[in-house]
Structure formats: structure tokens, C-alpha cells
Amino acid sequence: MERSNDYILTVSNLMVRIQGQAILDNISFKLKRGATLAIVGPNGAGKSVFFRTLLNLVPYTGKIEWSTKVKLGYVPQNLSVKDMPISVREFLSFKHNPNIEESLSLVGLNSKEILDKSLGALSGGQLRRVLIAWAIIDKPNVLLFDEPTTGVDLDSEEAIYKMLVELSKKNDITMLIISHNLHIITEYSDYTLALNSCMNYFGESKEIANPSLQTVIYGEPVCRGTHE
């Protein structure tokens, strides 16, 4: 028997309009605590807007209900930190949190080797791990990742997702991840939410390997209102 506290997030009839255009239209689903949710869809489908809405940064109608004592961490897709003339230590110190070395260890980085490196000297994979360390330093129980492996090679991408899954299981963290990689989605997420302005699909990730379902996910919106 399912209980209300089994769910960490309930979204009901969510709608976002910008300049009269429906960016998100009638989104409804429930996410179980500790699960990993992949958010997929074509470019311009409203995925990043959906994240900003969950973070209460965008006006909306409908309901977004987080369970009690939720603490969110967020890694955006594009964050131009490589041009900042600061070290990893200085960057993470902006959080005023003593858990810097612990956070770096959790994302597979050796603090002695990396703390005094400048952000611009890091590889793509190292930089993404530092950004994830930034997101988890305050010990959130929900993490939102907008394309967490942007700018990394395929080997580093796989390693980062394996690290995220391990991090989630060890610390009972619910994760929401925007991704375009079908292999990553089916391998490393429990559920998939397919957006194309409206909700084209919500269900178990293992099902999206079905070619007919991919046509639904990446095809034309099933509702009015699209976002380019």
C-alpha cells in the first residue's frame, strides 16, 4: 500500500506561460523518494524551464508539492566558471561550509591534488565534478542536474553517472536529471518524464527503449503550445 510520504514530489496540473505562450502545459506526476528521474524531450521542449519552475524561479499555475524537510541542490547546464580567476578552494569556499574536502571526496576528487588548481585549468570532467561538489556541499536530499555531463567525453560521462548513482544510494538522495543520452537514461534512471510543452510520457525508464515510445517522446507535441 502506497503512502503519501512515499513521494518526495507531487506535481499537479502545472502550467507555465511566457508572453502568452504555453511553455509547460498540464504536467502531473508523483516521484518516489530516493528515485532517479530523467527528464527528456527535443530542444525547446521546456526541460530547463521545468527545472527553474521546481526551484520556484518561474511563475506558474497548478501545484508543486515537495515533502517536508526537502533541501535542494542544483547544477545548471551552462555555468561559465572556467573564466573565473579563482581556485577550486576559493570557489567552494563561497558556500561558507566546512565540508569542502568531504564533498570533493564524494565526487571522486582528491582534495590535495585539486583544491589549489584554478577552475580554468580543470578538464571538462573535473569541472563537472567540482560543480557537483558545490551542489552537495550543503547535504541536500534532492539534486537537480541540467545535462550534468556537458562538455565531457563519453568515458567521463559514464564515470560521472556511475558516481551520481552511488552518491544517491549511499546518501538517500532523490535525483532529477535532464539528459539526451538514451543509454544513460535507461541505465541510470528509474523513471522518465518526457516533455514537449506538455507531458508525452511518465513511467519506468526501461520502457523508453521501445521504438514506438521514442516516436511519442521525440515527435510532435500532444498538446497545444510549443516552445522554440
**CA neighbor of 157 nearest in space, from 122, 176, 129:** 129
Residue 114 scores a pLDDT above 90: yes
Please compute the mean of the pLDDT values over residues 1-20 and round it to a whole number: 84
Question: Would you give the DSSP letter of residue 67?
Answer: P
Q: Taking the CB of residue 27, how many other CB atoms lie within 10 A of it?
A: 24
**CA neighbor of 170 nearest in space, from 162, 179, 178:** 162
Average pLDDT taken over every residue of the chain: 85
- The per-residue pLDDT for range 185-228, each reduced to its tens digit, is 889 999 999 888 788 889 999 888 777 777 767 666 666 443 33
- The per-residue pLDDT for range 25-44, each reduced to its tens digit, is 999 999 999 999 999 988 88
Residue 1 scores a pLDDT above 60: no
